[in-house]
Structure 1
Amino acid sequence: MPAWVKALAFIAALLPGAAGAQMAELVSQSALRVCADPANDPMSTEAETGFENKIADLLAAALERPVEYTWFPMATGFVRRTLGEKRCDVIIGFAQGHELVQNTNHYMVSAYTLILPQAGDLSDVVTLADPRLKGKVVGIIAGSPPGTHMARNGLMAKARAYPLFVDRRVQSPAQDMLRDLEAGEIDAAVLWGPIGGPLVKREHPSLKVVPLMQEAGAPKMFYRITMGVRLGEDQWKRQLNSLIRRNQAGIDAILVEAGVPLLNDMGTEAKVLLQ
């Protein structure tokens, strides 16, 4: 090879675009390698019944590749032991702004929800500030953001906390909370919409799901959900952004079928889906 060709190749390797391409080579070209929790129903399951599993199937079909999973509990060390160890290439659901990953464009906006009986004196409550909730027993996952709003509205004294960190292969605080609500042991439940919505649709037809879109002050109750990739893998992120854009209608259909409450980008009202 002539010396000038070698020199140009060396210079090109130092350019940012070339560095990105080298990083992107860590991404498998033969499969869509997904990092996922095997027991995070209704989002991901080892039986591949969760809505994140179905989104992965949609993207894999667009890429004309099979899906391959690396399973690891969604707890401390999840990103390090999966994406960080290069055992997989994408986390299907990750909140926008997390420093451990590079976020794609968001593919959904959802919110924490208030879950109530379809019938009764609380059936039309839409905010934690509603005075009818005073003195009621409200279930909440310990340490979750709505707790601040509940405290601000004087609801914590009688609140029932459900654990955040559990082995989800044998315990589901969300399902426990909804069963307690149906049994009348608590009066209302507060859950992350992509968990509560699908569980209610699937198993609890006597309950209704109300996205918390009217809470005043911080913290916000809605979040933009992205896919997470390794830092520096800009080419892969751009490819996923393109896939999300071209398959947004299909992603929306999966989420709606699952029962996930979808909001507009500002989290102020229900998303209007294009037909």
Structure 2
Amino acid sequence: MHDLKRGSSHLLLGAVLFVGAIVPALAARDMQKNFNELTSAEKTAAKRAAKKMYEEKSLKRLVVCADPGNMPLSDVNQAGYQNKIAEVIAKKLGAGLEYFWRPYLERGLTRETFDTNMCDVLLDLPAVYEPALTTIPIYKSTYAIVYRNDRGFAFKDFDDPALKGLKIGVFQTSSIRQVMTKKGLAPYLKLKTLSHNADLHPENQPWRQVQEVIDGTLDVAAVWGPFAGWLKTMKGEPITLQPVNLWEDIVPMEYELAAGVPKTDAKLKYLLDLALEDSKAEIEKILTDYGVPLVQCSTCLVQGNLPSHGAYIKPASLEYKAKPESASPDQVVTEQKLEAWLAEGADLTQELSNAVLASDQTRIRFLVKKGADINARDPQGYAPVHTAARKRHPELIALFAELGADLNEPDGDGMTPLQHAVMRNHVPSVKMLLERGADIEKKNTVGYSPLALAIAEAKFEVAKVLLEAGAHIDAAAGPDALTPLMIASSQVSPGEGAIFLPESTRPIDLARDLIKRGADVNAQSKSGVTALMIAAARNVAPMIGLLIQAGAKAGLKSVQGQTAADIADQNGAEAAAKALKLIGKVSDEDGH
């Protein structure tokens, strides 16, 4: 199992052997439609493809987004039940498990994970969650009222007068807080607020309110049930859990939870469904071992035994609906707060990182004036400009350039800000970096320039921008010395299985542009492979036609002594083989 530090990129670039010819291991990345836009036939095709992948165990890795500090759900030591479930799923798929660590804050959750291609899966999303495509429901759980056994409480409902006057711990953005406020209990609530760094400061994790009940600091905690179930079952703490899902008829107190994937990845959704179905017993044991209160759910993988409320008057899951981007009043960071925190010993670099995550330009300027190093890396290895590029914020990139940031300094993984912007396929960020002087040719640790990286990772729009900005058209990339034209020749175009929006840039458009700008169509890689050989191995007939028309020589041989036609034959690339044979006959007839 591999573990990605919080925020690290996870590129897979390299080369594989195609029966004697080395070509990039760059699978075609379809510009897919959202799940709800698929026809029945397309969904059926996705199911069949997922079943084939599952049977062949052909998924090589599964990248899961997880909170680095939110026990018992997940933590950076992989000790939470979400981590254990992820391990089971990955094992069923035959895939290596990797993590992208990110706090599970609702604001920007899918936008800063799925939309930036940082992970494949988010666990414990509501089964009906608009920003993502979800699997079959895995389990249903409930909020609970928690107290020490020796307190002798036995609350009847939220209107129970015994609740008044008690010190009640509750999480800031929970629906149980909403209900208790509605019931007139607001004066007695002790709020635990959102925290982005609970992995570094475990005392900020939500389960700590249950510990405060055990320690006697709080009388009662109104929490998500699994927080208390873990302490009762795995830690043996003397506490009582009263499920509250039957106490409220408007705001839901129970939720069916599932795994979520990007809305465009129907195949992965069906693949996970298969793995989940085959893992039912193991997942049920994990949830039981962790003391998760399991509510009855006929549609869930794990069916549960606690009584279920069923349908609510308001069907929408209020807790998980999209929240506004603006912070709540208690989360607003003022200069006065910063001054106080710095006086108490707060770390300037961490505070600058927080300001960048909040896109707060006023805060950023204030902290730099206070002496914050604009080029200092945070604990995840990012300088502020790396984060701005990753978050698609060209206005922050401009600010950092103004403040003297090094636009070419690699992050802890060797990625420059420009390469991060490329990975997001974000044209405005790429243009801003280039305008401010970013090096268009600076390579990453595996030797890929921004242009080569853009084409290899199917970020075709930014590849077009880089070409127009003057990127070197024949610069060799990676250990195999592949040119941009070779990499473009490995990609799939419309008609070969990919779906492109009208007016979007396609691999063949990039290849045509490269040729127009003077790219060497007969350049050979370290192993003697040409763009034509790669197109032949990938069975991309239109690319073969373009390359031949531009002067590609079909008779060139690789280090293994194979021509493009040989490679097409040995790889079963029928369309490519026919095209090359036809070209050979025409050449013979013309006397060439």
Q: Provide TM-score, normalisation by structure 2.
A: 0.40
Higher strand share: 1
Where 2:251 maps in the other structure, the secondary structure is coil
Amino acid at match of 1:168: A
Matching residue of 2:65? 35
Match of 1:258 among 284, 290, 309: 290
Does structure 1 residue 272 correspond to structure 2 residue 302?
Answer: no
Q: Describe the shift of the 1:178–1:185 C-alpha distance in structure 2 as closer, same or farther (beyond 3 A).
A: same
Q: Describe the shift of the 1:196–1:62 C-alpha distance in structure 2 as closer, same or farther (beyond 3 A).
A: same
Q: 2:124–2:259: 8 Å Cα contact kept in structure 1? A: yes
Q: Describe the shift of the 1:148–1:77 C-alpha distance in structure 2 as closer, same or farther (beyond 3 A).
A: closer
Amino acid at match of 2:88: L
Matching residue of 1:198? 230
Q: 1:126–1:210: 8 Å Cα contact kept in structure 2? A: no
Q: Unpaired runs of 5+ in structure 2?
A: 1-31, 307-592
175-184 vs 189-198, greater mean Cα deviation: 175-184
230-239 vs 158-167, greater mean Cα deviation: 158-167
> Partners of 2:304 and 2:156 in 1: how far apart?
17
- Equivalenced residue count is 255
Q: Describe the shift of the 1:91–1:255 C-alpha distance in structure 2 as closer, same or farther (beyond 3 A).
A: same
Offset of residue 125 of structure 1: 2.6
Task: Describe the superposition over 1:101-154 as per-residue Cα deviations: whole angstroms up to 9, x where unpaired.
Answer: 1111110100111111112231x3353233322222211112311123213433
Where 1:250 maps in the other structure, the secondary structure is helix
34-43 vs 158-167, greater mean Cα deviation: 158-167
Q: 1:93–1:227: 8 Å Cα contact kept in structure 2? A: yes
186-195 vs 106-115, greater mean Cα deviation: 186-195
Q: Describe the shift of the 1:126–1:239 C-alpha distance in structure 2 as closer, same or farther (beyond 3 A).
A: farther
> Partners of 1:152 and 1:78 in 2: how far apart?
28
Moved over 4 A (4+): 13-21
Matching residue of 1:8? none
Match of 1:78 among 109, 129, 134: 109
Offset of residue 214 of structure 1: 2.1
Does structure 1 residue 188 correspond to structure 2 residue 232?
Answer: no
Task: Describe the superposition over 1:47-102 as per-residue Cα deviations: whole angstroms up to 9, x where unpaired.
Answer: 11110110011111111222111112222333222222223211122112222111
Does structure 1 residue 45 correspond to structure 2 residue 78?
Answer: no
Q: 2:72–2:227: 8 Å Cα contact kept in structure 1? A: yes
160-169 vs 52-61, greater mean Cα deviation: 160-169
Matching residue of 2:421? none
Q: Describe the shift of the 1:93–1:143 C-alpha distance in structure 2 as closer, same or farther (beyond 3 A).
A: closer
Match of 2:211 among 136, 161, 179: 179
Does structure 1 residue 118 correspond to structure 2 residue 149?
Answer: yes
Q: 2:71–2:207: 8 Å Cα contact kept in structure 1? A: no
Q: Which of 1 and 2 has higher RCO (CA within 8 Å, sep 6+)?
A: 1
Task: Describe the superposition over 1:11-35 as per-residue Cα deviations: whole angstroms up to 9, x where unpaired.
Answer: xx998555975x989xx82112211
Offset of residue 223 of structure 1: 0.5
Amino acid at match of 1:197: G
Higher helix share: 2
Q: 2:233–2:289: 8 Å Cα contact kept in structure 1? A: no
Offset of residue 254 of structure 1: 0.3
Amino acid at match of 2:265: E
Q: 1:34–1:90: 8 Å Cα contact kept in structure 2? A: yes
Where 2:206 maps in the other structure, the secondary structure is helix
Does structure 1 residue 210 correspond to structure 2 residue 238?
Answer: no
165-174 vs 255-264, greater mean Cα deviation: 165-174
Offset of residue 240 of structure 1: 1.4
Where 2:77 maps in the other structure, the secondary structure is coil
> Partners of 2:182 and 2:209 in 1: how far apart?
22
Task: Describe the superposition over 1:171-212 as per-residue Cα deviations: whole angstroms up to 9, x where unpaired.
Answer: 424243223212323211011112232134344612122221
Q: 1:174–1:196: 8 Å Cα contact kept in structure 2? A: no
Q: 2:195–2:204: 8 Å Cα contact kept in structure 1? A: no
> Partners of 2:219 and 2:70 in 1: how far apart?
25
Matching residue of 1:146? 176
Q: Unpaired runs of 5+ in structure 1?
A: 1-12
Amino acid at match of 1:128: F
> Partners of 1:216 and 1:34 in 2: how far apart?
34
Amino acid at match of 2:141: S
Amino acid at match of 1:119: D
Q: 1:35–1:83: 8 Å Cα contact kept in structure 2? A: no
Task: Describe the superposition over 1:146-176 as per-residue Cα deviations: whole angstroms up to 9, x where unpaired.
Answer: 1232134332222211213342121424243
Does structure 1 residue 109 correspond to structure 2 residue 140?
Answer: yes
Q: Provide TM-score, normalisation by structure 1.
A: 0.82
Matching residue of 1:156? 186
Matching residue of 1:5? none
